[in-house]
Amino acid sequence: MLRELVVEGLGVIERAELELRGGCSALTGETGAGKTLIVAALGLLVGGRSDRALVREGAAEALVEGRFVVPPGHAALEVLSAHGIIEAGMAESEAEVVLTRSITADGKGGRARINGRLVTVAALGAVGEQLVEIAGQNEAQGVAAPSRQRALLDAFAGSTALAAELTGTVRAASRVHGEMDTLLSNERQRERELDLLRYEISEIEKSELQEGEFDRLTKDADRLEHAESIALALGRAIDALNGERGAAETIDSAHRDVSAASQRDPALEEVTRRLEAASLEIADIASDLTRSMVAPDPQTLEETRARLDVIARMTRKYGEDRVPQDSEPRGPEAGVLGYLERARARIDELENAESSLGALRAEHESLMARAGHLARELGTLRKVAAPRLEKAMEETLGELALSGARFEVALTQRELFEGGMESVEFRVAANPGEMARPVAKVASGGELSRIALALHLLTSREGETEGSARTMIFDEVDAGVAGLAAQSVGRALADLARATGAQVLLVTHLPQVAAFADYHYRVLKESADARSIALVARVEGAERVDELSRMLAGMPESQRAREHAKELLETASAR
């Protein structure tokens, strides 16, 4: 629902603020006062084409801002979510949406915003068309749109929920098909990657790398390379320990002497034990050195170096330059083994893509089968509803001063799409003997407005309110209408607002129509500093009687006109 509309620098409007309510509101004023500029402003909010000629002379830009209160689950919130303007969860709660559009005098710097965020005009229009429907002169937005005609026929047929399920099913099938295309387009690349990974895994597995192997082999190689010098050093050490007058012999001699002395001096017993332990330790050391003797082994050294070369080559191809954590294995082979694990995981992922493709095919077939069933069911309901809508429309149009008009619903078979298996086109012949033409090509804006009014009335009577929670604008809906027919139009507009819960804003010249509105706004043109400005104000009570009197006789003070105005208001209030 449109709560507030602000217009600045648009034509004769310097600045106008409208605080609107629900129900039916009438906008009246003298010709040229600026009523149509209000409609033009709303047209800009729903993505209409901008025209710098609309910018008020002397102004740098024209600005239009609409503040809407949107109920939970409204289609506009879904569009906002799809464009990333609100979070998905916000679509389930009431929200305030502010649409803003500016036009610069030079035609170069216009901007569109939603909730203060810069967006494209297309995005603004996508949201705006869910919030506002304009039916009037030079407007093809509304019932002239093929998608809206389908929605209106489905509302009349009672199949709105079925149509929504079909749309969701077809879109889901399209999404799945897109995922299939992505997988198929990557098939050749997938096979190449699989071949490479299989080769790499085979090469790493054949190398039989083990964690810690590099450090161990490096030490072995160093030991084998210096086997001769190690043997010489150990030989000298063993000789120093066990040779003539070596450490072992000297310690043994000292042990014997101190042991003999301890027989006379018990305090030396501890020293005796220590010398005995030293003797045993020297013997153990000499034994260990003997076992550690390395004999030169050129063949083993060559094999060790060859193995280190394998590790180095594998590391260059598959290793990583990284510092391992304390809990991770050390050495260059750790990077190679880590790559091996990732390669195996990637192969599993790529090989599962084939099964994923099969699952997607099955899902797509299931969705398309479901969509076909829904589309056929929907088509049957549309075929039954079409002649009923034609008859009901002709009767309702007769009540709206289009007596003799012929209305047709053309259903044309087509390939399955998210709207079904048939295109829907409304055609009308406003006068007897004329050929029915698409509603989009009806020349009269007044006729188009009344056709929209009749369609919405009929769908609301069928129990489904297509367009509910939308602001509906009817511009010159009373063109060519007078007398009782005008009252019928006014009554129908008020009934539409009440039946659908929609906010209805009508621009009218006829007091018989304006009297039926719940709220009445007057556009008044005044002169200031040799320039015209338009003012918009709500009128009620005596002021409303004055405005209706002006519309009736051009003289607000005319007693007869005032009595007639009061009579119109009484008639409207008795509806």
Report the number of distinct structural domains present in the chain.
1
101: in domain: no
Q: Are 470 and 130 in contact (CB under 8 A)?
A: yes
Copy the structure tokens of residue 340.
Answer: 């091996």
248: in domain: yes
Q: 3-state class of 276 per DSSP? A: helix
* Sequential DSSP letters for 138-180: T--SSTTSHHHHHHHHHHHHT-HHHHHHHHHHHHHHHHHHHHH
Among residues 309, 301, 299, the alpha carbon closest in space to that of 209 is found at 309
300: in domain: yes
Q: What is the pLDDT of residue 406?
A: 92
500: in domain: no
Chain position carrying tokens 């006789």: 553
287: in domain: yes
d(CA 248, CA 253): 9
334: in domain: yes
d(CA 390, CA 385): 9
* Domain of residue 314, residue span: 191-349
329: in domain: yes
260: in domain: yes
Chain position carrying tokens 């294995």: 329
Supply angle C-alpha 504, 510, 516, rounded to 5: 45
Q: Are strands 503-507 and 471-475 parallel, antiparallel or unpaired?
A: parallel
Distance, C-alpha 14 to centroid of its chain = 37
d(CA 334, CA 572): 88
pLDDT by 10s per residue, the chain, length 575: 899 999 998 988 888 888 998 899 999 988 766 788 888 899 999 888 888 888 988 889 999 999 999 888 788 888 888 888 887 666 667 788 999 999 998 878 789 999 999 999 999 999 998 899 887 644 445 688 888 899 999 999 999 999 999 999 999 999 999 988 888 877 778 888 889 999 999 999 998 888 888 888 888 888 787 777 877 888 888 878 887 777 877 888 888 888 888 888 888 888 889 988 988 888 888 888 887 777 777 888 888 888 888 888 899 888 865 444 444 455 788 889 989 999 999 898 888 777 778 889 999 999 999 999 999 999 999 999 999 999 999 999 988 888 888 999 999 999 999 999 999 999 999 888 889 999 878 756 778 888 888 998 898 876 555 545 678 898 878 777 777 888 888 999 999 888 888 899 999 889 999 999 999 999 887 766 656 677 888 999 999 999 999 988 887 778 888 999 999 999 888 76
**Which alpha helices (H) appear in 31-145, and where do they start and end?**
35-45, 75-82, 121-131
- Residues 206, 211, 215, 221: what is their CA dihedral angle, to the nearest 10 degrees? -30
- Residues 36, 39, 41, 45: what is their CA dihedral angle, to the nearest 10 degrees? -160
Q: Are 460 and 500 in contact (CB under 8 A)?
A: yes
Q: 3-state class of 83 per DSSP? A: coil
What end-to-end distance do the CA atoms of the chain give, in Å? 24
All residues at 6 or more sequence positions from 176 whose CB lies less than 8 Å from its CB, including other chains: 360, 363, 364, 367
All residues at 6 or more sequence positions from 121 whose CB lies less than 8 Å from its CB, including other chains: 47, 50, 101, 112
